[in-house]
Amino acid sequence: MSAITNHMPTAELQKLDSAHHMHPFTTGSELAAKGARVITRAKGVYLTDSDGVEILDAMAGLWCVNIGYGRDELAEVAARQMRELPYYNTFFQTTHVPVIALAQKLAELAPGDLNHVFFAGSGSEANDTNIRMVRTYWQMKGKPEKNILISRKNAYHGSSMGSGSLGGMSGIHAQGGLPIPNIHHINQPDWYSEGGQSTPEEFGLARAQELETAILELGEERVAAFIAEPIQGAGGVIIPPSTYWPEIQRICDKYDILLIADEVICGFGRTGNWFGSETVGIRPDIMTVAKGLSSGYVPIGGSIVSDEIASVIDSGEFNHGYTYSGHPVAAAVALENLRILEEENVVDHVRNVAGPYLKEKWESLADHPLVGEAKIEGMMGSIALTPNKATRAKFASDPGTVGYICRERCFANALVMRHVGDRMIISPPLVMRPEEIDILIERARLSLDECYEKLKEDGLLVSAS
Ligand code: PMP
């Protein structure tokens, strides 16, 4: 008995992959011509591909492998749980020990009175739960017309019908009839790209006040909730100016609007606290969690909600749930992951060791001729590529052309760094050690150098007019 391993040459695997496997967020025909990178193993912060190349994973998979790859404890717990109770559901008045223990643990870790968890299989599912839950909450309180959710352009909350509608990605809205009704989007607090001549503080305040303007336009009695990531992840790791979140909190309080913090990326230590909400100083009514909850070892997500919301929702029947809500194997693995995070002081490691070390090195990349801004909070960072540092200019080429070139140089240098348009982003495993951070920075700088040379050669070092 063994894991499914690399049993054929890479080219064969690639051919089969493109023949039968449809990839998310990928142009299939392009990939068929090129062949997918086949990952066969991983340990610590390194991936190994089917040709035996070791690659430093500065994205922790998709922002999720927070404790790093290859932790036997999680595999052991999963195997034990599968033997004992591989599956049972939590519908119709039943429960099981792993889900009870995990819900209790999350209530303990979550701030304030966020003491109740509705489980899902992913972040998208959890955000779909949130849409239905906040609308049902207001309906049960006798305000059925309070059903609009406000979100932000360039937010990412998932790609299902509901969560994709909550998100503000135009590419997602363009396909499949999204957004669903009664979702409203305001602008994002991206000072670097959109702040013009204002200071970051002025801009942060102005962008937060767009929430108040929207509430007044739509009518306070129509707005159910505001949802946002404490720090936007997939939008390009956009760290809001310090003035932004306090103003958002003030507005939500003033107009009795529920605040949903999407902690799918920021949660479980990524920003140097257990939750991003603590880092930016907000008191959400609901937090969406997934990814780092299990360090990505098994799929699990959930909505952690306040005493008040739970008491209203639980006073009737919430006609909602997923076959895998509170799956016992996923719950047991998540619990073990949280145990490791706590016992190995991983959040402290981010706040006091890896975070500050990475910040110093990451910000040093700002001296590179191609880098307009290098920002980081905890272990999530971005750099904005620019043809003109002084003016924060965008490139004349289609957005993402330069980012893609840079990402390809990173791959060639055995580093996974992702691009969002012409921003490069990282979100490494939280357990990354200083010597591994040195390698990350060395490879990132080399890739930037090579990208810069290529742009010069190809005549792409040109500002948009
Ligand atoms: N919310 C945020 C902030 C995310 O980053 C993501 C995934 N990148 C999701 C929700 C969706 O999670 P999933 O892919 O597990 O559905």
Is 0.75 surpassed by the pTM of this model?
yes
State the average pLDDT over residues 270-298.
98
Ligand 1 centroid, distance to 264 Cα (angstroms)? 6
Question: What pLDDT is recorded for position 5?
Answer: 64
CA distance 312 to 138: 9
What per-residue confidence (pLDDT) applies to 113? Answer: 98
- Asked if the bond preceding 387 is cis, omega within 30° of 0, the reply is no
For the segment 362-393, what is each residue's pLDDT rounded down to a tens digit? 999 999 999 999 999 999 999 999 999 999 99
What's the pLDDT band for 289 if we cut at 50, 70, 90?
A: very high
The Cα 259–Cα 151 span in angstroms is: 10
Strand order in the sheet with 46-49: 39-43, 46-49, 54-57, 415-416
Average pLDDT over residues 446-455: 98
What average pLDDT does the segment 319-346 reach?
A: 98
Is residue 1 scored above 60 in pLDDT? no
- Report pLDDT digits (tens) over 215-268: 999 999 999 999 999 999 999 999 999 999 999 999 999 999 999 999 999 999
| Averaged pLDDT, 167-176 | 97
At 392-427, the pLDDT tens digits run 999 999 999 999 999 999 999 999 999 999 999 999
CATH architecture classification, 73-343: 3-Layer(aba) Sandwich (3.40)
The residues facing 303 across adjacent strands are 118, 288
pLDDT, position 6: 64
Q: Please provide residue 174's backbone torsions phi and psi, each rounded to the nearest 5 degrees.
A: -70, -15
Nearest to 46 by CA among 438, 416, 349: 416
Q: Which atom of ligand 1 is nearest to the CA of 266?
A: 3
Q: Tokens in use for 211?
A: 């929430």
**pLDDT at res. 465:** 82
Lining ligand 1 with CB less than 6 A are 62, 122-124, 127, 156-158, 229, 233-234, 262, 264-265, 290, 301
The CATH architecture of the domain made up of 37-67+345-458 is: Alpha-Beta Complex (3.90)
Mean pLDDT along residues 263-282: 98
Share of the chain above pLDDT 90, in %: 98
Cα–Cα distance list, 128 to 21, 223, 233, 429 (Å): 26, 17, 19, 27
Question: What is the spatial distance between Cα 22 and Cα 461, in angstroms, rounded to a whole number?
Answer: 35
Determine the distance separating the centroid of ligand 1 and the alpha carbon of 271, expressed in angstroms: 16
pLDDT of 461 above 80: yes
Residues of the chain with CATH 3.90.1150.10: 37-67+345-458
- What confidence tens digit (pLDDT) does each residue in 292-313 have? 999 999 999 999 999 999 999 9
Mutate to test the pocket of ligand 1, among 65, 291, 293, 382 (most ligand atoms within 8 A of CB): 291
With contact defined as beta carbons under 8 Å apart, do 119 and 326 qualify? yes
The pLDDT of residue 462 is: 95
User: How confident is the model over 108-136, as a mean pLDDT?
Assistant: 98
Residue 425 in contact with residue 236, Cβ under 8 Å? yes
pLDDT of residue 248: 99
21 CB neighbour count, 10 Å cutoff: 11
CA distance 382 to 194: 16
Measured between alpha carbons, how far is residue 446 from residues 370, 375, 406 in Å?
Answer: 12, 19, 10
Region 173-195: what's the mean pLDDT?
A: 98
pLDDT in tens, 431-445: 999 999 999 999 999
Q: Considering the chain, tell me which residue range(s) the CATH 3.40.640.10 domain(s) occupy.
A: 73-343
Measured in whole angstroms, the distance separating CA 98 from the mean position of its chain's CA atoms is: 25
Q: How confident is the model at residue 164 (pLDDT cuts 50, 70, 90)?
A: very high
State the average pLDDT over residues 55-72: 98
